A and B are shown apart, each in its own frame.
Chain A
Amino acid sequence: MRAVLRHPLFRNSAVLAGGGILLLLVLIALLAPLLSQTDPTAIAPRFRLKPPSEDFLMGTDKLGRDVATRALYGARVSLLVSICVAAIAISVGLVIGLVSGYIRWLDGPIMRTMDGLMAIPGILLAIALVSLSGSSLLTVIVAIVVPEIPRVARLVRGVVLSIREEPYVEAAIGLGTPVYRILIQHILPNTIAPLIVQGTYICASAILVEAILSFLGAGLSSEIPTWGNIIADGRDVFQRAPWIILFPGGFLAATILAVNILGDGLRDTLDPRMKKRLGA
């Protein structure tokens, strides 16, 4: 345990700051029912559009629902979606990238397909996918995953192309090692560091896209308290009740900021080549 804590990761201030805020958010998400006794979907017409006060820390929305409680529960959806999206996008992109980088005759067709997929604006692709297949947690996750896959596949393919020329890979080929073992034992480990970094950025972008989908009305059902849905609910009463948008918006921005800072810290400690290229 001591040795793990002495890793440079735990001395990087960006990793500590970003990770700390995220840990707090995970706790908020897990403990939401304990932090607020109110039901996030309870409608109370008597308390419509109340400004922030002692009773309602972040005010109430046009149905009298407590914005603070809804924002706490919104953290659950955001974190769940982002973790699922990152895991699926990384796994699928990894397989595509490995195959494309290592099996030469498949490289052309796969990468052209990825180019085509990248040419479609991600947000449009996601809202179209959700609107076509109905809004459920699964379709929202798939819709956010699809535009992310080409980026992961390209990253992995780049690593494969540079590693496969290394003498130890050539030695393994010379010894007659089967392709799958070369991929898993020699090439896969080299993709882990860049993928952890990329995965963090995917989390940030997934939180954002989920909120955008909800905000545009093309995300999860409007009854589910997500940050995007709360903000969308506040749109038409924004001039009278700006708190409905500003508080969840703050949660959203703070979360994405924390994930981005964590990503920058991970990049600097795990992937020094990347750091040099960005001059950061």
Chain B
Amino acid sequence: MLRLILSRLMAAIPVMGVVAIFVFLMLRLSPGDPAAILAGDAATPEAIAAIRASLGLDQPIWQQFVTWIGELAQGDLGRSVLSKQPVTHMIADRIEPTISLAIVTLLFSVIVAVPMGIVAAWKQGSLLDRGIMALSVAGFSIPVFVLGYILIYVFSIRLDLLPVQGFTPIGEGLWPFLQNLILPTLALSFIYIALFARITRAAMLEVLGEDYIRTAHAKGLPDRVVLTRHALRNAAVPIVSVIGIGFALLIGGVVITETVFNIPGLGRLVVDAVLARDYPIIQGIILLFSGIYVLINLAIDITYVLLDPRIRY
């Protein structure tokens, strides 16, 4: 087990290396001169040169890369150009809403979608199955921001049941926290429910054709036991791997949902940074999210082995 974790960690390092090189090159080789953009339209050439020197942009590119990687290795993501605060602090300040939204959405989607997929596979071809599949195609097609505004329109403006926008930290009580999170979670979950339900159904259908399922039915076991104990367990590997892919998509969705619902999280932070061209924040958040993505995939590889003893690396 330890060897597995170590070997997977080793495999993750080159991937993160590529991410780091790509982010570095993207920021340095882009057509606009960052120093000129930061200095503004009315800046003198001297002012631009001063900014360039302060960012280290006047040094040869390999030297910039070495300095940058060195700082990165110490967990230093630099300072925001506008607020002058360290990027790591800014991320720490804004991470709670993002993590809350991501985790609640992931949990909610799995809880809703996996039973939907199981039922659809169990009643394959029925009206219920077709209904669930149609819903899943719709889920892939309604953009999260459109759905978000529809939900705000119905539940906040028309019915006046829930707050329109904003975020309350969990420290200020569970109900206020959840109240603000219900609509964003619903909006963001729809596509994951669609994705997970579809994959659960497909994985279940594959397993339900196996001989041991027929045997289990022949033994007189109730459907519920056959579906959960025999079928779901063997269908778990593809389902878990899609939940991992779902997480990667979730990051993009969170950025948009935070804008729709005015949630002060990392998504808002990065969008504001993009609009203000605050590069250290952009690169910090891209590196953070990519790192999380790599770690999640690592965790999934390890889960495979736990779920299916036949898999060996």
Contacts of A129 in B (CB 8 A): 26, 30
- Knowing A119-B293, A129-B26, A249-B149 touch, does A278 contact B202 (C-beta < 8 A)? yes
Contacts of B23 in A (CB 8 A): 120
Whether A212 sits at the interface, judged by CB under 8 Å, is yes
Contacts of A216 in B (CB 8 A): 255-256, 259, 271, 274
Contacts of B31 in A (CB 8 A): 132-134
Contacts of B277 in A (CB 8 A): 131
Number of residues in B with C-beta < 8 Å to the partner? 55
Whether B141 sits at the interface, judged by CB under 8 Å, is yes
Number of residues in A with C-beta < 8 Å to the partner? 48
By CB atoms of chain A within 10 A, which of B138, B141, B149, B206 has the most?
B141
Contacts of A245 in B (CB 8 A): 146, 149
Whether B143 pairs with A208 at a CB distance below 8 angstroms is yes
Stretch at the interface among A87-95, A158-166, A250-258: A250-258
Whether B271 pairs with A252 at a CB distance below 8 angstroms is no
Identity of the chain B residue whose Cβ is nearest the Cβ of A147 in the assembled complex: B252
Q: Which of B15, B141, B145, B146 contacts A260 (CB 8 A)?
A: B141
Whether B286 pairs with A120 at a CB distance below 8 angstroms is yes
Q: With the chains together, A127 CA to B259 CA distance in Å?
A: 14
Shortest distance from the beta carbon of B69 to any chain A beta carbon, whole Å: 15
Whether A178 sits at the interface, judged by CB under 8 Å, is no
Whether B212 sits at the interface, judged by CB under 8 Å, is no
Q: Which of A115, A127, A128, A279 contacts B206 (CB 8 A)?
A: A279
Whether A242 sits at the interface, judged by CB under 8 Å, is yes
Whether B113 sits at the interface, judged by CB under 8 Å, is no
By CB atoms of chain B within 10 A, which of A121, A211, A216 has the most?
A121
- Knowing A117-B18, A256-B143, A257-B138 touch, does A132 contact B27 (C-beta < 8 A)? yes
Contacts of B206 in A (CB 8 A): 279
Whether A280 sits at the interface, judged by CB under 8 Å, is yes
Whether B256 pairs with A121 at a CB distance below 8 angstroms is no
Contacts of B21 in A (CB 8 A): 116
**Complex interface residues of chain A between 223 and 261 (CB less than 8 A to chain B):** 231, 238-239, 242, 245-246, 249-250, 252-253, 256-257, 260-261
Whether B49 sits at the interface, judged by CB under 8 Å, is no
Q: With the chains together, A231 CA to B275 CA distance in Å?
A: 17
Whether A131 pairs with B275 at a CB distance below 8 angstroms is yes
Chain B 277-288, CB within 8 Å of chain A: the 1/0 string? 101001001100
**Complex interface residues of chain A between 113 and 140 (CB less than 8 A to chain B):** 113, 115-125, 127-134
Majority-rule SS of A interface residues: helix
Shortest distance from the beta carbon of B277 to any chain A beta carbon, whole Å: 6
Whether A217 sits at the interface, judged by CB under 8 Å, is yes
Whether A148 sits at the interface, judged by CB under 8 Å, is no
Identity of the chain A residue whose Cβ is nearest the Cβ of B140 in the assembled complex: A260
Identity of the chain B residue whose Cβ is nearest the Cβ of A121 in the assembled complex: B251
Contacts of B289 in A (CB 8 A): 120-121, 124
Contacts of B61 in A (CB 8 A): none
In the assembled complex, 29 residue pairs joining A and B whose CB atoms fall closer than 8 Å, in A order, are A112-B18, A115-B15, A116-B14, A120-B286, A120-B290, A121-B289, A121-B290, A122-B252, A124-B251, A124-B255, A124-B286, A131-B275, A211-B143, A212-B256, A215-B259, A216-B255, A216-B259, A216-B274, A218-B274, A218-B275, A231-B145, A242-B157, A245-B149, A246-B153, A253-B141, A253-B143, A256-B140, A257-B141, A278-B198
- The residues of B with any CB-CB pair to A shorter than 8 Å are 14-19, 21-23, 26-27, 30-32, 121, 133, 137-138, 140-143, 145-146, 149-150, 152-153, 157, 164, 198, 201-203, 205-206, 248, 251-252, 255-256, 259, 270-271, 274-275, 277, 279, 282, 285-286, 289-290, 293-294
The 7 closest A-B pairs by CB, nearest first: A116-B18, A123-B252, A249-B146, A279-B202, A257-B141, A132-B30, A279-B205
Task: Please give 12 more A-B residue pairs, beta carbons under 8 A apart, in addition to A121-B289, A215-B145, A253-B142.
Answer: A116-B21, A121-B252, A124-B252, A124-B270, A127-B270, A130-B274, A212-B143, A215-B259, A216-B255, A216-B271, A231-B145, A260-B141
